[in-house]
Structure 1
Amino acid sequence: MVTRREFLKGAGIAIGGMALGGGIVAGIGSMAHPSTKEKHHFKELPEYNKALMFFTPTEHAVIEAAAERIFPKDENGPGAKELLVSYYIDHQLAGAWGNGSKEYTQGPFYAGELTQGYQGHLNKQQIFRIGIEGLENEAKKRFNKSFANLEGEQQDEILKAFENGEVEIKGVSSSYFFSLLRTATLEGVYADPLYGGNRNMEGWRMKKFPGHQMSYADIIEKDEFVVIEPQSLHSQHHK
């Protein structure tokens, strides 16, 4: 069975979602890099974005739990919960991405082909609220508990059903909601911490990604791979 470690060692961008090793896992390629505060002596960035702008606390708990199953903590480093991915998703939904301000949403509406994506009138705020309601309803139907209170394997069972489009939800397919959630989760892992996720740049540290450096002039001609302490847009702004 493929593990998250093997995903992290791959090159390029992984396409699709797979239920692997205790979580719905997907990675974006390069080299794995264990990351702990004991191994890295760095100054933590302030958690100035750790505040909800769109989700209710209950909705946030569901998304936080689901994101952790999509990108779980393991020997390579922290998972989505520790990386504050749910706050990244929350902040994106509170802005233009969530309210669809740059999308054409006028009728008539027809079901699109698989290659065309979603063709309806709902914006992502509405789709996420419908999806969260669907996760909660399915959790109560199958296990008589809230999704956030389920065991990891139970959460995986429901997420797999959503990924496969097996759960009926209003106005949109469960598979489309899952694809949005999975994409947003991976974005939150690897986006600049300025936007609310990738806490302390740990997502970057796992990939040995340097973030936003001012220059590579001093190392560009070196033959060996150089590990650079990553920098975020926020840290550069406060220099």
Structure 2
Amino acid sequence: MADEQKDVSRRDFLKTAGVATGTLVGGGVIGGLIGYNMKGSGTKTADGTGDRSGGRKDESAGSPNGRMFFTNDHDFAVLTEATERIFPEDDLGPGAKGLGVPFFIDHQLAGAYGNNEKEYMQGPFLAGEATQGYQSRLRRKEIFVQGIHKMDEEAKKRFDKSFVDIDGDQRDEVITAFQKDEVEMEGVAAGFFFRLLRSATLEGAYSDPMYGGNRGMEGWKMKQFPGHQMAYIDKVDSKDFQKISPESLGGQH
């Protein structure tokens, strides 16, 4: 969202993005739900209430299109619009909405990623350097909820409208304010929330579809990534370029 990033086309970004293939398993965002709710069990939300769908008929609890964490429709709508500004639809393919990225993030916040499981979360909590990684006393799910509320508040303060009711340029202005640490947050820097949101958005765009993002493997198709093939033994000796249809861990192809 910084000024220098605006001149980088999405085509160039897709060619060079570090979060490229959805092959990160464990330790990162994509590993957050491994072993969690794979059979559709354990689908209570963070506040102990039942699941809420986002309006689609197939958004039952435990499905890739079902919500596990967000019980408030407005909060989920703010998240959805924010991710779409970070990864917008264009002539190359769908954006965050079309790829199901908001559902991916929702699922991750309901699992190990959102709860910072197996991570050291004891004090003291001091403002760390950029190279020191996670320093907040808050868990990721708490940071996301606070960040979404602050994003809505910032939109109302600047434009007297909710984040979901302002236009794209205005949304960019609000998101950029977070990137530049111009918004006050409790227990975490606004810039840190922005980096979490951006990272989760990109990983949702390129994760295996079984985790709720990369719907239809369209993220992989834009990068011509083959996904999780069983083997390449029938292609390794060919001198010709091989165009391979992607396959997911869940058996999609």
Do Structure 1 and Structure 2 share a fold, with TM-score over 0.5? yes
> Counterpart of 1:167 in structure 2: which amino acid?
V
- Give the match for residue 51 of structure 1: 66
Partner residue in 1 for 2:29: none
SS at match of 2:226: coil
CA distance in 2 between partners of 1:125 and 1:136 (Å)? 17
**Superposed CA RMSD:** 1.8
Q: Is the 8 A contact 1:189 1:203 kept in 2?
A: yes
Alignment of 1:1-239 (within 5 A): 1-10=7-16, 13=18, 28=20, 48-55=63-70, 56-235=72-251
Given that 1:59 and 1:132 are in contact with CA atoms closer than 8 Å, whether structure 2 keeps it comes out as yes
**Alpha-carbon distance in structure 2 between the residues aligned to 1:173 and 1:110:** 11
For 1:51 and 1:113, the matched residues in 2 are separated by: 37
User: Which runs of at least 4 in structure 1 moved beyond 6 Å after TM superposition?
Assistant: none
Point out where structure 1 has 5 or more consecutive residues left out of the alignment: 14-26, 30-45
CA positional deviation for 1:6:
2.1
After TM superposition, give the deviation of residue 173 of structure 1 in Å.
0.7
Letter aligned with residue 64 of structure 2:
N
1:28 CA displacement? 4.2
Gaps of 5+ in 2: 1-6, 22-57
Query: Is the 1:7–1:28 contact (alpha carbons within 8 Å) kept by the matching residues of 2?
Result: no
In structure 2, C-alpha distance between the alignment counterparts of 1:89 and 1:137, rounded to whole Å:
21
Determine the C-alpha separation between the residues in 2 that align with 1:138 and 1:201. 34
Deviates further, 199-208 or 51-60: 51-60
| Residue 187 (structure 1) shift | 0.4
Shift of 1:174: 0.6
Q: Residue 193 of structure 1 aligns to which amino acid in structure 2?
A: P
Question: SS of the residue aligned with 1:122?
Answer: coil
Are the aligned partners of 1:69 and 1:156 in contact in 2 as well (CA < 8 Å)?
Answer: yes
TM-superposed deviation, 1:111: 1.7
The Cα offsets for residues 103-162 of structure 1, whole Å up to 9 and x where unpaired, read as 111122222122113322100011001101110110100111111221011000111111
How many aligned positions are there?
207
The structure-2 alpha-carbon separation of the partners of 1:175 and 1:98, relative to structure 1 and needing over 3 Å to count, comes to: same
Deviation at 1:9, TM superposition (A): 3.2
- Matched residues in 2 for 1:2 and 1:182: separation? 16
Amino acid paired to 1:122: L
